[in-house]
Structure 1
Amino acid sequence: MTPEEQNAFEEKIYAYSGAQVCARTPAADAVNPAMIRHWTEVMGDNNPAYTNEEWSASSARGKTIAPAAMLYVWNQEGYTVTTGRASDPQTDMVELFNEYGFTGVLGTNVTQEYFREVSPGDTVHVEMVIDNLSERKSTARGPGYFFETLATFTDQNNEKIGTQRFRVLKFIPQEQPAAAAEEKLAVPSRIASPRGHDNGWWWDACDKGQVLIQRCKNCQTLRHPPRPMCGECQSMEWDSIESSLDGEVLSYTELHHPKIPGYQYPLICAVIKLREGTSIVSNVVGCEPSDIYIGMKLKGKVEQVDEKNTLPQFYPA
């Protein structure tokens, strides 16, 4: 892109700064106990303020509330988005980026701010604007631009509930040097799991052939995946025990498409309940997909699955 072409392009995309993506729109459904229950079950959040009506009736609020982190849930469009989205300034801007070769997309961060709680019966409204666009940046992914949307949430009385800022990078994907790319693609490896402060110890143990389960030092509750605080007593003190890797299938799915380089197919991903009581997501191997069933007994092994990754895999017991 020549300097003149870049200037012309930037004049077009910067015109979207401040554009309204959607006017204030109510959610299709009011805040309701069923969605709150489903969300808290998936997140493992047992706060009685969310689902225990008897407990909440005697609390300072006098009623149940929705978790603040559900802020963005109520206005999601659901399955209808699979048939395409209606044109709006954000989709038009994204198409403009794509036309100029910025086809890569990466959500970089999201920030939510909460001002008040909502309870069953409230209706959440959302309005959204394209808040800002950055200057052209050179990133590890390729040259591109960051843009940030600002969603403001209000209730049926137009009182502010919270806001959400979502930042996205649109970039021109970098091409690998041909020789290096061919060499790397010859023996692809699995996607490596990120290792951070809270879970690095678990992966280090896995590299040594152990699957550890985090245990609260205060109340002895086991938890997985690793996290800094006990969900039962909120203690930050913990140690771990080694899993027997005896388990059974709670649920499973067979992945068919898209086939990701580095993975062997058929690929069975399962939620496996370990004998110790916690669950783990892993692969079931050593049998045909048609042989797997809910409740099937399994035995895990920590194995080298490719040149770079060591993972627990589960076989029929």
Structure 2
Amino acid sequence: MVGRQYGRIYAWDRINEAMVRQWCEIMGVDNPLYTDAEYAATTEHGQLVAPPAMLQGWCLAGFGDKKLAPGSTDENPYGVLEVLEKHGYPAVVAVNSNLTFDRYITMGEKLYYTTVLDSVSEEKTTALGTGFFVTLKMTYFSEQPEGLEDEKVGDMMFRVIKFKPAQKADQKSEQKKDKTEVNKEAAVRKRPKPAISDDNRFFWEGFAENELRIQACNRCKKLQHPPAPVCMHCHTFDLGYQVASGKGELYSFVVMHYPHVAPFDSPNPIGLIELEEGVRIPAGLIGLEEGESPKIGQKVQVEFHTFDGELTLPQFRLVPTKES
């Protein structure tokens, strides 16, 4: 299969302003070259162009990765992965992709790509198990009018390792441990400590003072979280912090049921809190009765709890909602 070139996979839509605008909004890109037609007309391009980083997105399949745009090949460029799975290499430990852009893409262009299975490595052994590095190369083209040669606009190198998880020597004995032994192990496990750097030290040290410190810019006075070395609004390095009230509401949440991770409770509710000050922070939720579920928009109040006699962390108690 190595060296085989697979047929074209077309983009569903021509390059268009609506999709570019939505992508820029989601990614936080405010370059007027992509969204302001009047500004773009004054540049060397003379018109709007699409962000280069959108290249792969234009030709993605429909929902479920099975629905390809009309005219696309029926061949499966990823068939080698299915072969490896059938031979006992079902897991993926990592993927990476490198994109190269030949030029900007303009509104109205129709894209497609072809794929070559570049290589499959010899079997590699890692701490996680044994597997193969599979490398595919996609070449992207802009379809030109009949009689003209289609123009190459970029490349993507995609690499994935398919592997067979290693079997630990004591795995079978571990499986035979009764629940009592497992619970004893869980009881002595401590909460993982955070990674503290010069940029976020103020945040973690504030908990010992029962303070919820949110990074604040000394120049533009805006808040941001998580802490960073530079203000995301005005790009200054002159940063401090503001002590938040600890009050807010539940913006979103997830309840972890499985896997059970000691020493955390199970189920383990985690919330994304929108503070009164306007920033959002993830933290554990407390105050739920058994079988009760958090509610979006529910009011919360921070509490500080010390774990393992040394680690103080904020948790947010859900304020009971008024019954109608």
Does TM, scored on the shorter chain, surpass 0.5?
yes
How much does 1:306 deviate? Answer: 9.9
The aligned counterpart of 1:43 is: 27
Secondary structure of the structure 1 residue equivalent to 2:50: coil
Q: Is the Cα–Cα contact under 8 Å of residues 59 and 113 in structure 2 kept in the other structure?
A: yes
Of 293, 297, 310, 2:296 maps to: 293
Q: Is the Cα–Cα contact under 8 Å of residues 123 and 156 in structure 1 kept in the other structure?
A: yes
Letter of the 1:145 counterpart: F
How much does 1:28 deviate? Answer: 0.6
Relative to structure 1, the CA distance from residue 212 to residue 233 in structure 2 (aligned partners, 3 Å threshold; closer, same or farther) is: same
| Total equivalences in the alignment | 296
Superposition CA RMSD, Å:
4.2
Q: Is the Cα–Cα contact under 8 Å of residues 98 and 158 in structure 2 kept in the other structure?
A: yes
Relative to structure 1, the CA distance from residue 57 to residue 245 in structure 2 (aligned partners, 3 Å threshold; closer, same or farther) is: farther
Inter-partner Cα distance in structure 2 for 1:36 and 1:292: 34
How much does 1:73 deviate? Answer: 0.9
The aligned counterpart of 1:166 is: 158
Q: Is the Cα–Cα contact under 8 Å of residues 195 and 203 in structure 1 kept in the other structure?
A: no
Inter-partner Cα distance in structure 2 for 1:132 and 1:191: 43
Q: Is the Cα–Cα contact under 8 Å of residues 253 and 271 in structure 2 kept in the other structure?
A: yes
Q: Is the Cα–Cα contact under 8 Å of residues 246 and 274 in structure 1 kept in the other structure?
A: yes
Q: Relative to structure 2, which stretch is displaced further, 96-105 or 47-56?
A: 47-56
Structure 2: gaps spanning 5 or more residues: 69-73, 145-149, 320-324
Q: What does 1:25-36 align with in structure 2 at a 5 Å threshold? A: 25-36=9-20
Inter-partner Cα distance in structure 2 for 1:122 and 1:306: 60
Larger Rg: 2
Relative to structure 1, the CA distance from residue 40 to residue 129 in structure 2 (aligned partners, 3 Å threshold; closer, same or farther) is: same
Q: Is the Cα–Cα contact under 8 Å of residues 191 and 307 in structure 2 kept in the other structure?
A: no
Task: State TM-score, norm by structure 2.
Answer: 0.70
Q: What does 1:231-246 align with in structure 2 at a 5 Å threshold? A: 231-235=232-236, 240-241=241-242, 243-246=244-247
The aligned counterpart of 1:277 is: 278
Structure 1: gaps spanning 5 or more residues: 1-15
Q: What does 1:1-317 align with in structure 2 at a 5 Å threshold? A: 16-20=1-5, 22-81=6-65, 88-91=76-79, 93-157=80-144, 158-176=150-168, 177-178=170-171, 179=173, 187=186, 213-215=214-216, 219-226=220-227, 230-235=231-236, 240-241=241-242, 243-250=244-251, 252=252, 254=254, 259-262=258-261, 270-282=271-283, 284-287=285-288, 292-294=295-297, 296-301=298-303, 312-317=314-319
Inter-partner Cα distance in structure 1 for 2:196 and 2:106: 35
Letter of the 1:19 counterpart: R
Letter of the 2:100 counterpart: E
Percentage of matched positions with identical amino acids: 29
Inter-partner Cα distance in structure 2 for 1:96 and 1:286: 50
Inter-partner Cα distance in structure 2 for 1:65 and 1:190: 52
Secondary structure of the structure 1 residue equivalent to 2:105: coil
Inter-partner Cα distance in structure 2 for 1:246 and 1:61: 49
How much does 1:69 deviate? Answer: 1.6
Secondary structure of the structure 2 residue equivalent to 1:45: coil
Secondary structure of the structure 1 residue equivalent to 2:56: coil
Q: Is the Cα–Cα contact under 8 Å of residues 207 and 314 in structure 2 kept in the other structure?
A: no
Secondary structure of the structure 1 residue equivalent to 2:21: helix
Q: Is the Cα–Cα contact under 8 Å of residues 77 and 115 in structure 2 kept in the other structure?
A: no
Letter of the 1:314 counterpart: F
Relative to structure 1, the CA distance from residue 298 to residue 119 in structure 2 (aligned partners, 3 Å threshold; closer, same or farther) is: farther
Task: State TM-score, norm by structure 1.
Answer: 0.72
Query: For residues 275-308 of structure 1, what are the alpha-carbon distances to aligned partners after superposition, in whole Å with 9 as ceiling and x for unaligned?
Result: 33333345544347655134x332334657999x
How much does 1:103 deviate? Answer: 1.4
Secondary structure of the structure 2 residue equivalent to 1:72: helix
